[in-house]
Chains A and B, each alone.
Chain A
Amino acid sequence: MAAETSHAWADDIYQALKKAKVAQVAFVPDAGHKQLINACHADNTMTAVSLTTEEEGVAMLAGAWLGGQRGALLMQSSGAGNCINMLSIIRECRFPLLMLVTMRGEWGEFNPWQLPMGQGTPQALESAGVVVQRVDRPEDVGETVFAGALMAFGSNRPVAILLGQRLVGFKDWSK
């Protein structure tokens, strides 16, 4: 499956975010999130913010919640470690946080440098108090994201949905 292909599941995520009333979408770009990022940019009820590093998004979405808006943070697994200390704000203050993490360093990975953070992502996030859920089948993506949003915003907890590399695709990553 090529990363440049249009994915029905990417639109399912967008629809789930709409249904969950997500108004701010913060992201460090990832090829796996390309289609979703474009959809969020095109939606005038959402503000899509490009970050320099993933931890900025944790702080930004805490601010969004302070101001009464819901947010989602998009990243690839290599950015999960960048978030760890900022997640202490989420935990101490009981802020909700919805993270959508496209996985690298697993299914068919060609770049060995991706393995340390990719393989460590679930444990790293769990160590910071994040509820980690994983999805590998395209037909499960939409409802997993929506259910994760319900948990995050209903319970004031951080929830990360890991989008498996098998789902995202591994061809042409070097382009």
Chain B
Amino acid sequence: MSDHKEQALDRRKVMAKILGQRGDTLIVTGLGSTTYDAGTADHPNTFYLWGGMGAAAMMGLGLALAQPMRRVLVLTGDGEMLMGLGALATIGAQAPGNIAIGVIDNEHYSETGMQPTHTHRGVDLAGIARSCSFKVSETVRTEAELDKQLPVLLKAAGSVFLDIKVSTQRYPMSSRLRDGAHIKNRFRENLLGQAAFD
């Protein structure tokens, strides 16, 4: 990525593009910048994690198994994904047809001082997902590749994994919405209606 800094994708533009085409997709976002990015276009069908680093992919699996007719998309960062790498093996083995994971990969821990993550040092997340039996697993580096893979991320059958390389540009927190019980209850009420309170 460092050789093509001037062309690197911008995380907020990537997020805006994905959320703009989400339709009725159910989304789980991982702790850190990805949650802040997603907050720029808030929706009750988004569950924002503000803690539990490493949880995002597995929350997506439980949700995907509970809602097999709905698309479930996990959006998280490279550091958050690395903390829960075992989830890729568990999801790959379970092989639900309705889950996709998009890693917004800036190759750094941007919230804690921009220390490089393992993806900066040669660890290939898409390769790991492919080895874990994900049906589709690709690395995206350009606008054209993103446009090509977006329908795959949002619609293709089988477990899908995209490692989306972005620049290290930082942005302020977009959302103050961080009360976990509220975020959960809002998501459930919107999805389940009155059954949310059974």
Q: Is the CB of B62 within 8 A of A66?
A: yes
Minimal beta-carbon separation of B7 from chain A (angstroms): 35
Residue B54 at the chain A interface, CB threshold 8 Å: yes
A68 CA to B63 CA, complexed, in Å: 8
Q: Is the CB of B28 within 8 A of A63?
A: yes
Q: Which of A23-48 contact B (CB under 8 A)?
A: 23-24, 26, 47
Interface size counted on chain B using CB atoms at 8 A? 39
A104 CA to B183 CA, complexed, in Å: 37
Query: Of all chain A residues, which has the CB nearest B94?
Result: A49
Interface size of A as a range: 20 to 34
Q: Is the CB of B51 within 8 A of A68?
A: no
Residue B84 at the chain A interface, CB threshold 8 Å: yes
Q: Of A54-62, A107-115, A134-142, which stretch is located at the interface?
A: A54-62
Return the contact of B59 from the options A24, A50, A66, A94 (Cβ within 8 A): A66
Residue B61 at the chain A interface, CB threshold 8 Å: yes
* Contact A69 B192, CB 8 Å, known A86-B52, A89-B49: no
Interface flags for B56-100 (1: CB within 8 Å of A; 0: not) read: 111111111111000000000000000010110110011000000
Binding site for A on B (CB under 8 A): 26, 28, 47, 49-67, 84, 86-87, 89-90, 93-94, 180-181, 183-184, 187-188, 191-192, 195-196
